[in-house]
Amino acid sequence: MSTIFDALPRVPFIAPDSREELCFRHWRPEEVVLGRPMGDWLRPAVAYWHSFVGTGADPFGAPTLPRPWDDSMDGARAKAEAAFAFMERLGLPFFCFHDRDVAPEGASLREGVRHLDAMAEVLQAHMARTGIRLLWGTANLFSHPRYMAGAATNPDPEVFACACVQVRHAMEVTQRLGGENYVLWGGREGYDTLLNTDLAREDAQLGRFLNLVVEHKHRIGFTGTLLIEPKPHEPTKHQYDRDVATVYGFLARHRLLGEVKVNIEANHATLAGHSFEHEIAMAASLGLLGSVDINRGDPQNGWDTDQFPTNAQELVPAMLEILRAGGLGSGGFNFDAKLRRQSVAVDDLLHAHVGGMDSCAEALRWAARLIEDGRLETARRARYAGEPWTGTLADIADAALARDIAPQPRSGRQERLENLVAAAARPSA
């Protein structure tokens, strides 16, 4: 079968000063960074939905991108063929998908299950042929009209049961394909208005659902990591998994700590009013850091634009937090990013991933340089070098009064530290 991507070249690795555009200048999976291959730090993945399902349609206009397959099983096979043709040419090691990206919904719940089983075999054959692996699978619990009022949090128990069907099956298919993680993004687990919403009831349903998912994971012996992906809003006005700290509270409340980690998306972090690095540092400090969806928003827009990252310097603080945390383990960098509506040339998708990948690789190198340099870590340690006082509140207060202490202000040295980061990210450094 021929595909729209067949004419694309395989992306070569070329020296940084080459004028060739479709090549990796910085991404060298085998290059050792802080004692570990770059490929092990980054574990990059192509997102099936944006790259092969998204059409460029928006609320104001029709599809623009050439994606010549329909929503039938033949269409799903043609799409898979094209997806792997593209991924082979790009040469990244992983991909991620939703059940509905790879297999059509069909006319009933049962037909949807049969379609996914059939497509799992097709994917398995492509994976065996190309060596491309599955970073994570997930279930789409937000597109079908039945989920308009949520999946696990839906007031209708039958909709909750539909979510059970899809998640059980998508997790089992992920296991069958050797997937290393399973993601739960609660796109419609939230509300549009409090006037019709029982918050306590919806929290209890979501907690019960996740406990069932964890129990099933252990029952089938799936060894991958379960990941919740926080997002504050869009498509609903308010989403329950709004940010990492909120997810931690939810997991603690439902006795799920130690069972589930987080998949942090850069654009979701900024929508929540945080930075990407804040969410990564928060997850690492709470023992929840699992994986990342790498993309960027647009500072002028208040929505989820899911653009490819192109500015390595901007990514350095996030990389630094990942290095400080010792890496992502079984997680990776999923390019949850989409082409702009006008990017209708077939090679636009290749340019997008090449630029995104090189930005991540370069940022990783620069962040590693900062760790090797050591001055940042030394400054941070020195800030906390004081011995903590012990005893009761009264003991500490009495001792302070007895000595009539007068602690002297010390500089946070922010500008000096920012200069160190900027210098590490200067190509001439």
Question: Which sequence positions are flagged as catalytic?
Answer: 98, 101
- Closer CB to ligand XLS, 228 or 350, in the complex: 228
H runs (alpha helix) in 298-407: 312-324, 348-373, 375-383, 393-403
- Closer CB to ligand XLS, 294 or 376, in the complex: 294
- Interaction partner, residue 279 (Ca ion, ligand XLS, none; CB < 5-8 Å by kind): none
Pairing verdict, β 94-98 and 181-184 = unpaired
Q: Which residues bind Ca ion (CB under 5 A)?
A: 265, 267, 293, 304, 306, 336
Rounded to 10 deg, the angle between the 414-424 and 312-324 helix axes is 110
Pairing verdict, β 32-33 and 36-37 = antiparallel
- Interaction partner, residue 99 (Ca ion, ligand XLS, none; CB < 5-8 Å by kind): none
Q: Which residues bind ligand XLS (CB under 6 A)?
A: 98, 138, 183, 185, 229, 231, 265, 293, 304, 336
- Interaction partner, residue 270 (Ca ion, ligand XLS, none; CB < 5-8 Å by kind): none
Task: Tell me the residue nearest to ligand XLS as measured from the CB.
Answer: 185
User: Is-contact 11 90, C-beta < 8 A?
Assistant: yes
Q: How far is the CB of 58 from ligand XLS (least distance, A)?
A: 15
DSSP character for 408?
P
Q: What's the distance, Cα to Cα, between the start and end of the chain in Å? A: 49
- Closer CB to Ca ion, 85 or 167, in the complex: 167
Contacts of 53 (CB under 8 A, 6+ apart): 67, 79, 101
User: Is-contact 271 234, C-beta < 8 A?
Assistant: yes
Rg of the chain over all Cα atoms, to the nearest angstrom? 23
Q: How far is the CB of 184 from ligand XLS (least distance, A)?
A: 8
User: Is-contact 167 145, C-beta < 8 A?
Assistant: no
Q: How far is the CB of 359 from ligand XLS (least distance, A)?
A: 19
- Interaction partner, residue 89 (Ca ion, ligand XLS, none; CB < 5-8 Å by kind): none
Q: How far is the CB of 47 from ligand XLS (least distance, A)?
A: 7
Give the tokens for residue 380.
């941070």
Q: How far is the CB of 334 from ligand XLS (least distance, A)?
A: 7
- Interaction partner, residue 138 (ligand XLS, Ca ion, none; CB < 5-8 Å by kind): ligand XLS
